[in-house]
Structures are given as C-alpha cells and as structure tokens.
Amino acid sequence: MGAQSTKPARKAAAEVGLLLYPGVQLAAVHGLTDLFLTANRVLRDDGIAQDPIEVSHWRIEAPGTAPARVYASCETAPGPLAALAIPPTLEAPPSAELAETYRDWLRGEHARGVAISSVCAGTFLLAGAGLLDGRRATTHWMHAEAFRVRFPRVRLEVEHLLADEGDVLTAGGVMAWTDLGLRLVERLRGGAAMIGTARALLIDPPGRQQRFYSKFVPPMDHGDTAILKAQLLLQEDHGREPSLAALTDHVGLEERTFLRRFRAATGLTMTGYAQALRVARAQELLQLTDGSADQIAWEVGYADPASFRKAFTRLIGLSPSAYRRRLSGRA
C-alpha cells in the first residue's frame, strides 16, 4: 500500500454575508469586508491550500421582500452562505419593529445551517428572531439593561467580548467586529489563517474580555425611592461610607427590609454594590493618576491592598497594574 497523504483536505469556497440594515455602521461593514479579503491574501501568501473566503452584502431592496445580495467580492458567488454577520450600529439598538422585518429570513438562513452572528447592538436583531432564547449571548455593556428587559429568556453575559454557541455567535462592543471576524476566519479556514490575519492587521486574536473595558453602571430606574436614596448616598463617596446603620437610618427602613429591597432593586447585595462602586473609582484613578495600587486601595476604602487587588481582579479580569498598562494610555 502506498503512503497516505498527510496534507489537510482543501476546504471549498465559503461565503460570508454581511447584513445592511437601517443605521448599520458602515465602518464595520467595510472593516469586516477588508478583514476577510486580508485572510485570503494570508492564505495565498502563506501557501495554505484553501479556496478564498467570499464576502457579500445583503440588503432589503423593496418593502416586504427578503434581503438580497447587493455586493459580492467575486463575480460568481459560491451559492449558499456559510456564515452571516449582523454588524453593529452607532444609533439606538434596533427596535422590535425592525427586528420583525428580518425575523423570518434570519430564521430561514439559520435553519439551512448558516452560522448567524452579530456585533454590539446588532445582537438585538438576532435575539428578535428568537435565535438566542435559552442561550448565552453578549452585547455592548451599555445596552445590557435594555437587552435584558426585551429578551429575558437570553442568558446575557456582557463580561465576555465573544459568546460562541456554535451555530450562533455574538460579540460585545462596537469594535468587537474584529474579534468576530477573526473567529469566523478560524472557523472557516483554521487557526493558522486566523493568526496570520491578526498579525497582518495588527489586532489581538480573540480572547479579550469586555469587562476589561466596562465600568459599573448602577441601575437607577427600579422605582424604589428609598433604595434610590441609599444609592445616591453611596455614590457620593464611591461606596466607602456610610455604614449599614447610617443607610437604614437615612432611608427609614428596618435593616432586614432594607437589605431585601436593596438586592431586589439592584440585583446586588449592599456589600457587592459598594465594592463595585469602589472598584469603578479605582479604575478612574488607575487611568488618570500616577498613584500606586496601594495608594489607590487606601483612597477607595480598602485598608488591605491585597484585598483590593483580589476584588479588582475578580470584577475586572485584570490586576490593577495590568489594567493600568492596558487602559491608561500612559507609557
């Protein structure tokens, strides 16, 4: 018997569609297009035996019709989509009425085996099609509360920049289209092509976490005026003071009732809430000042710097020093 070839099987051409909907961020559309075309150059230059990734843009051309292909990177499109991406928007998240416009088409493409993905507020269209019910998803952390209200059956995890459920993928912030694009390159053409594309474009491979960039935004629209008074008092000193006794006296509630209502209104224990406020203040100080981590720990109310570092790393995903290096913009 002759020796069997060890070369990997050549993958057939694959088409990635990008949905153009009202308010879509064109920079992300063109950026994703360039990313996939750059992947093709990497495949060619590195001698990786794969057919290119074709890119197409899809848009509704007439009311009541399904999206149609309005651009393709090659003259002869390869046929059925392999993946479909919903880019972000810089406007308000797509409304329920707009999502309904795309619902049947998105569900139909998904049923045909197309991997459906979204970025930032584009995830509202994906969730509006019912494709995320009971599944993990992410979106921009600033849209988290509105998303949870509209889609309570989705397991929203905004600390993650990328949530990959196999047949559906969601990415967090606006610029997370780079993470999604690289993940799709990896899925369609392998890890070597993905790393080569990231290197060519000088962007990080997928693996970042959105919580590196987010900041605690306390819920204030719960309607419990007594708890809101307590929140405002905590906010004044970034969670350092006052004590539980002072808070309950301030709002006129018995301690047990206060703690129960506080958690119901904010989703956090009072201790966890105060800790989130202190860490949020520490984020600001790490970005804007030159104070040491120990000094900042003391300033935000931690007597033990080690406890501060532990709490900061647990909530943000980076140590204080690593956070400063990544996000302060300082040398």
> Judging by DSSP bridges, how do beta strands 83-86 and 14-20 pair with one another?
parallel
Three-class secondary structure assignment of 208-274: CEHHHCCCCCCCCCCCCHHHHHHHHHHHHCCCCCCCHHHHHHHHCCCHHHHHHHHHHHHCCCHHHHH
- Give tens-digit pLDDT for 25-57: 999 999 999 999 999 999 888 887 678 899 999
Tens digits of pLDDT across the chain (331 residues): 444 444 444 556 789 999 999 999 999 999 999 999 999 999 888 887 678 899 999 999 999 999 999 999 986 655 789 999 999 999 999 999 999 999 999 999 999 999 999 999 999 999 999 999 999 999 998 999 999 999 999 999 888 888 989 899 999 988 999 999 999 998 899 888 888 898 899 887 766 656 666 667 777 778 888 998 888 888 877 777 668 888 999 899 999 999 999 999 888 898 888 888 898 888 888 877 888 999 999 988 888 999 999 998 888 878 898 888 876 654 4
